[in-house]
Every structure is written in C-alpha cells, then in structure tokens.
Amino acid sequence: MTPVLAIDGPGGAGKGTVSKRLAREFGWHLLDSGALYRLVGVAARKRDTDFSNVSELADISRNLDVEFRISDEDELVQTWLDGTRVDHLLRAETAGSDASVVAALPQVRTALLERQRAFAQRPGLVADGRDMGTVVFPDATLKVFLTATAEERAKRRFKQLMEQGLSANLRALREEMEARDRRDRERATAPLKPAEDAWILDCTGIGIETVVAMIRERLQGALSAREGH
C-alpha cells in the first residue's frame, strides 16, 4: 500500500507550507484538498451558480476540469481550471469562505472523494486538509493534526498577505478565520476534528523548520515500523 502522511487542522496553522516542504523532501505527491473545495466555489461563481443549488454544485464537483502544474521557474504549484490559470482567485479570502460553505454539503464531499483518493500513488502522498485522516485516508501511515491558537494563525495569515503586497485587517482576518473554523467544526459531514489515532501538534510559538523536523522524524519512525512488519 502507498504510504500516506495525512495533515489536518484549522486554516492558517501552517499545513500548506509544512506539506509542501515534506512532499518535496520525500519526493512524494501532494494533495492540497482545500484547493479542490476552493475550485468548486470559484467555478460556481464563474457560472453564476446559486450556492443553494446543491445538485448543480455536486455536478460542478464531479466534472471539475482541473490541473495542478508545478512551474519550472519557481516550483510553485499552478492551478488551471477549464484551461485558465486561477491561482490568484484561489488564495483570496472569499475563496476560502466560499470553499467552507460548499464543503459542508455531503453531495460535494462525495463527488470529490475518489478524485482525492486517486492522488495516493507511489512512492507516497502528503495529503493536506480537514478530513484526510478521518475520512479520505483512514489507513494513513501517519496522521498529524496541526493546530495553533486563533490569534497566532491570524497573525501568520496577516504576515503572509503583507508579504504578497496585499492589504489586510488583522481583526477582520481573525473574525473571518474563527467563523470559518466554526463552520468546518460544526458541520455534520466530515467535520474538522482529529482522528482518534492522530498526533495532535500545537505549533503555537514553534517555528516552521522545527515543525517540519518534528513531523519528518515521526514519519521516518512510522515508515521504519511499517517495513519491519
């Protein structure tokens, strides 16, 4: 079976950076599952689909014409939807909250399930999301639930936006983040919660390098244990 590292947790905890870094180090594939939910929202807005039209949203999810390309120049992931690059639309805060709304619909989640599982290919997969360890990859080799206080997560996101030359308001960002977390935690289908066998890693006040090193060590341990059996 292909080894899978599942990294779940609330927004802004650093899952994206940590996942990308580990995928590159191990030479594994990367699944940014949040991007799929964001894409459903972006596609729905492009088509003027009403967010209460569940069957059309499920249809969009099933037929999403998406391609993730690693750029040769800067190793960043480019996202193409229906033949158009949509990276800039995807990272906007509205795309995050739209994603969280469509992600609460069981029909959308079911439509995206097999597409996500198909990412598990040799030599391995790092899967970043909210339900990687609980629903999509329940047999993952290692499950990490990466979290940090809302204040720290909002500050990190704020810094990220500033570095990209975008304007932001720290307080508004924190409120939006808390509202999104609440929606992700309280939904009935695949809510944001640690798997029973997840390692809960609170990275408040811990630098990204240290977090990567901590997970790398655990993963290497889990892989050796697997080979030993």
Among residues 127 and 219, whose Cβ is nearest to ligand DC?
A: 127
**Would you say 57 and 102 are in contact if contact means Cβ atoms under 8 Å apart?**
yes
| Residue among 189 and 223 whose Cβ is closer to ligand DC | 189
Least Cα distance to 15 among 186, 143, 166, 196 occurs for 143
Q: In the bound complex, what is the minimum distance in angstroms from residue 132's beta carbon to ligand DC? A: 6
**Calculated CA dihedral for residues 9, 16, 154, 206, nearest 10 degrees:** 80
CA–CA separation, 48 and 222 (whole Å)? 46
Q: Which of 224, 182, 216 is CA-nearest to residue 199?
A: 216
- Residue facing ligand DC at closest CB distance: 34
In the complex, minimum distance from the CB of residue 225 to ligand DC, in angstroms, rounded to a whole number: 26
What lies within 8 Å, CB to CB, of 83 at 6+ separation is: 65
Judged by CB, which is closer to ligand DC: 37, or 145? Answer: 37
Residue number, 35 or 215, with CB nearest to ligand DC: 35
- Shortest distance, CB of residue 61 to ligand DC, whole angstroms? 12
| Minimal distance, residue 129 CB to ligand DC, in Å | 3
Residues that bind ligand DC (CB under 6 A): 11, 33-34, 37-38, 96, 99-100, 103, 129-131, 180, 184
Q: Which is nearer to ligand DC, 152 or 184 (CB)?
A: 184
As measured in angstroms, the least distance from the Cβ of 131 to ligand DC is 5
Contact status, residue 11 vs residue 96, Cβ threshold 8 Å: yes
CA-only gyration radius of the chain, Å: 17
